[in-house]
Structures are given as C-alpha cells and as structure tokens.
A and B are shown apart, each in its own frame.
Chain A
Amino acid sequence: MSLLVLWGVSVLIFAIARVIPGNPARVALGPNATQDQVDALAAALYLDRNILVQYAFWLRDLMRGDLGRSLYTNRPVTQDIAEFLPATLELIFLAAMLMIVAGLPLGILAARFRGRWPDHVIRVFSLLTVSAPSFVWAVALMLAFAYFLPIFPIAGRLSEAYSIPRVTGFLTIDTLLAGNLHAFANALRHMVLPAVALSLSGIGQAARLTRANMIETYEKPYIEMSQAYGFPEGRIARTYAFRPSLIPSLTIIGLDIAALLGNAFLVEAVFGWPGLSRYGVQVILRKDLNAIVGTVLVIAALFLIVNIIVDILTVLLNPRIRLGEARP
C-alpha cells in the first residue's frame, strides 16, 4: 500500500519535473557551452527520448538504488541526499519533540483550567502561533534572539571552531561519538532557533486540539465518576481525561509533524541550514531533474513513515482496536 503511494508520487513528480519549461542540459552547462555540448549532455541523460522511455530508465536505476546524477552538484543524487538529509531529520525530530512536549501539556493545562487565566493565556498563544507561518517566526526569532540579543548563533549547524568527523551526519550524535561535549552543546544551540521557529505553529495547533478534545472528554460520565470519587484533579487531567482525548488528536498531530517537512524549506533557507529542504529549493531553481525527483521521493517516504508510526500508535493507545470489540 505504502509502496504503491510512493510509486504514484514518483510518476507524478517525474512528469511535473519534465513539464517545467527550459532545457536542463542548457541550465547545467551555462550560457557559454556550445549547442553540441548541450545536445551531448541531453543525450547522455536520455532527455532526447520519449518521456515513457525516460521513466523506464529511471525506474530501472531506482531498483538498483541509483537515483541518477545531480547536474548541479555533479554527484549521485543518493550521495547528495545522504549528505543533506540528516541535517533536516535532526531539525524536524527536535521540532516534533517540541511540538509534543510543549503542545500537549499546554492543551492539558488549558482544559484543566478552562475559563481561567492559564486557559486565556494559552489560547492567545495558540492563536498567535497558528496564525503566522513558520518562516515568519524564523525571521522574528532570528532578529530577536540572534541579532538584537545575541544569545543563539545566527546560522549554520556548528561553529567553524569545531571539526567533527562525520559518522552518521547527525551532528548531535557525531559530536557525542567524538566525545566532544562542547561541540555537542554548540550544535544544540544552533538547532534551538530553527527548531522553535519550525515547531511554534505546531505547538499552538497541538495545544488547541488537545484542549478541544479534552473539553469534550470532561463531559463524559467517567470523568464525573473520577471527580465524584475524589481522584486528584491533576491526575484526572493528565491521565483520565488526557488519554481518551489523545486518540482522536493523534492523526492530526501526525499530519502536523509530517507538515514540518514542507515548512522546513523556508526555515532552512532563513537559517542557512544545510539540509535537504534547502537542497530541494536549489535543485528546483536549476531544473536538476534527477535531484528534484529524488528529493521529493525521500520526502514522500518520510511522510509515509510518519503515517505508519501514527497508525501503530493509534492501535497501541486504543484498547478497543487493539483487543477488538468482542464481549466474552
């Protein structure tokens, strides 16, 4: 099923990439190349052939784990992706964590103190964060906490002063593998602003959703039962009202996490974050066909992985699905 979706995405993006006007070979070689050189490159890339033939060749290569060459970096696309993907994954992972560890508790707090000041503060916060896109937050945070108050670095993943051997590509892991805690802290400091910018809307969204679902749960007889028996209010909120409310929230939170992939494009651009999203923008501008298709394919695969994780969690958290409805 998931593979089928991936295949569909590949066809679609393959077609779209080839419909964009302009000759990729000409763009790659620059204005000074002769027509003969351009034609030769086009032939090498099968650009002179029918689109179906092109797709067949591409699919054959894909089966061998080969996404073709990038005209822009002149390296295999797989190599480019391996270089840029970890930076993006690291950022998105941190942003998703922030979304969950900040958004859900804020929603719980708002629902528990519904109509009182914590609720009002959290609702204003949610409305603000949801109403502006993440790149706006990126610019605002950068100005506030890197420029006017230089607490965090302005751009990049790590200060020049450190040189860390690349093992996984995840700097937070590689610095630890190198045993360099200063570099680890430095890498984390670089991640803070982009990750917060990326996650702010998601935090607001998760808080709103959690609050709304919990308020519905608070009307249920089993919550009244727990109040009638004097269960501690905090436990009722965090456990007995939150857990049933999480199930309907999960799918949407999963979609929001997947949407971080898209939002990461502009946030990476603002913070000069050498990730896959920034790579994706550059290759699109250069009409670098193989690189475009490869990048989109990876992003689609990540989307699917997030969805699969959400499906698994839904089953784990919902005993009705896990155990079936059967009565003994």
Chain B
Amino acid sequence: MSALLDIADLRLSFRLWSGTVEVLHGISLSIAKGERVALVGESGSGKSVTARIVLGLIQELKGATVSGRIRFDGQDLGRLSPRARHALRGTEMSMIFQDPTSSLNPVFPILRQFREVLARRTPRISEAEARARATEALREVAIHEADRVLASYPFQLSGGMNQRVMIAMALANRPKLLIADEPGTALDVTVQAQTLDLMRKLVADHGTAVLFISHNLGVVREFADRTYVIYRGRIVEQGPTAAVFADPRHAYTRALLAAQPRLTGGALPEIAERDPAFENPMEVHP
C-alpha cells in the first residue's frame, strides 16, 4: 500500500515555564490516497496538534519540539527545506476549521481571500480568472449566487454559507490531503450534517484523502473509512470504522462509545474518570 500520509512515532513536547510537557507520546497513523480517516478522542487529547504538525505549523512555534517521521506523498517532510515545506500548504494539503465564520478574515470580502488561496497554485492570478474559478468552486458546494457571495464579507453570510465557502476554498486547489479539524462544530446540527454530506461527496469525486478530526462519533461513523482513537497523546485503537464501532476492544474506546449520547449529538463525551485500563496497549483491527 502506498500511503499518502504516513506518520511514525510522532512525539511533541512544549517547553513551558514550569518545565517540558510531552503531549504526543509516539503516534503512528497512515492515510492512503483518497482514504477518509478519522481521529477521535476527547478534547485535549492531541488531535489538533497532530493536524498542525502535518501542516508544519507547530514546528514554527517557539518552544515546540517535534520528533518522529512524517512522509507525505513520497517525501520525508522532516528533510524538506522550510521553503519546500511551506509550498505544500494550501496546494497539496489544506484545512477546514471548527468555526467557518471566524476562520475567514472579517475585513476582506470573500473574493479577495479566495483569490489569495487560488494564488497558491496560480501565482499572479488575475482578478477575472480568480472570480471565474471561485464561481466554479462555489457551484460545486451548491452556491449559485456566486457574485453576491464573493462580494460579501463573512459577517454578511450565514454560518452554513461560510462553511460551504470554506469547503470550496479548501478543495479549489485540488489538494491531495484535506484536514478537517472538528468541522462545523460551531454550526447547528442540521447545517453541520448538510455541509458534511456535501464535503463527503466532493472528496469522493475528487479522490481527496481526508484526516477527519472529531469527538462526535455519530459523524465519524458516517464519514470515515478507518478510525483512530486517541487518548492522552497515544493511539489506543485503530481499524476500519465499522469494526471499531461494532467491536470496540480497548477500554477507552468502549467508554467513549458508551458516553456518546445520541448519534447526532454534538456534546463533548463526558468520560467519568481516568481508568488504569485506558493505559492498555493499542488494539488493532485487521
């Protein structure tokens, strides 16, 4: 299997005033081309930092130390020059955030931001060409009044509309990998479900691989081919989504599933207390 993304023994620690804390303790995770992979776990378990390491954002922080190996599309990211590393962002990999409205710049119209995204692939793209390509990308997310949307500021659009704009931007440069960090958690449940549906169709059409981060197991079950369960900076269980849900083997996964209120519920899983069984070795489904 030629993995698009292959992470091996990833460790991350932060140097703080109080000393050094390790937040990722050797994570291994891989995503095949066009595969949709979920990373689930409660908040603070290290999902977002994993995503940001893949993009190379954490490495730029002062006081962060990253070790381990990350291969993306046949290249060892750790060996790339900063420039080559930067060149991947917004082109080969892109990202969708939790709250679409606050992820768009409030003082620039959508077209301006769209053009900047398109310019990552097509430097010096003209305004007319950017408008044409943005209109096309918006059509894919079922926005047909592109002119109005492109002229708008994010605060003039609804959250669901901004989410579609974000999805259109994220896929406009045809990335090989899309990272979605709890996408649309800030939106209401129906709108979230609609936009995720849209996103799933689009990534399937384009063959885009997705690293889908969520604490909502109902959504994960719908979306992902394979699932990794993360607990306090360690992967505790992994396997095909159906297998993990049907036959959770790790104590933490069972607790997580039991704590999930409803399939569509957006609430944080409340896991009563820490349990020594949560520290058990990783379970791998074939």
Contact = CB atoms under 8 A, between A and B. Distances in A.
A226 B105 contact: yes
A231 B116 CA distance: 7
B158 interface: yes
B168 interface: no
B116 A221 contact: no
Contacts, number: 80
A327 B103 contact: no
Interface in A167-222: 220-222
Interface in B154-177: 155-158, 169
Contact of B90 (A229, A240, A319, A328): A229
Given A323-B153, A327-B157, A228 B55 contact: yes
A224 B57 contact: yes
A230 B107 contact: no
Nearest to B166: A225
B262 interface: no
Interface in A302-328: 317-320, 323, 325-328
A227 B85 CA distance: 12
Contacts of A228: 52, 55, 57, 89-90, 94-95
Contacts of A328: 148, 156-157
A225 B89 contact: no
A243 B97 contact: no
A75 B91 CA distance: 72
A318 B107 contact: yes
Interface in B77-110: 86-91, 94-95, 97-99, 102-109
A247 B87 CA distance: 32
Interface residues of B, number: 33
A150 interface: no
B117 interface: yes
B105 A325 contact: no
A115 interface: yes
A235 B115 CA distance: 13
A230 B153 contact: no
Interface residues of A, number: 26
A244 interface: yes
Given A231-B90, A244-B107, A326 B156 contact: yes
A262 to B, nearest CB: 32
B157 A319 contact: no
Given A230-B90, A231-B90, A327-B157, A247 B107 contact: yes
Contacts of B99: 221
Contact of A243 (B91, B108, B153): B108
A235 B119 CA distance: 13
A45 B104 CA distance: 65
A39 to B, nearest CB: 66
B95 A320 contact: no
Contacts of A222: 102-106
**Secondary structure of the A contact surface, majority rule:** helix
A229 B156 contact: no
B116 A243 contact: no
B91 A317 contact: no
A269 to B, nearest CB: 42
A230 B103 contact: no
- Most chain-B CB neighbours within 10 Å: which of A226, A229, A317, A327? A229
B274 interface: no
A222 B169 CA distance: 13
A119 to B, nearest CB: 12
Contacts of A229: 89-90, 94-95, 116-117, 120, 169
B97 A225 contact: yes
Interface in B131-190: 148, 153, 155-158, 169
A240 B89 contact: no
B155 A320 contact: yes
B110 to A, nearest CB: 12
B155 A325 contact: yes
A140 B87 CA distance: 49
Nearest to B119: A231
A199 to B, nearest CB: 27
Interface in A227-247: 227-231, 235, 240, 243-244, 247
A243 B94 CA distance: 24
23 contacts: A222-B105, A224-B57, A224-B103, A225-B95, A225-B97, A225-B104, A228-B55, A228-B89, A229-B94, A230-B86, A230-B90, A231-B116, A235-B116, A240-B108, A243-B107, A243-B108, A244-B107, A319-B107, A319-B109, A320-B106, A323-B153, A327-B158, A328-B157
Interface of B: 52, 55, 57, 62, 86-91, 94-95, 97-99, 102-109, 116-117, 120, 148, 153, 155-158, 169
Interface of A: 115, 220-222, 224-231, 235, 240, 243-244, 247, 317-320, 323, 325-328
> 4 smallest A-B Cβ distances: which pairs?
A230-B89, A229-B90, A230-B90, A228-B95
Given A224-B57, A229-B89, 13 more contacts: A222-B102, A222-B103, A225-B97, A226-B105, A228-B52, A230-B89, A231-B116, A240-B105, A320-B153, A323-B156, A325-B155, A327-B155, A328-B157
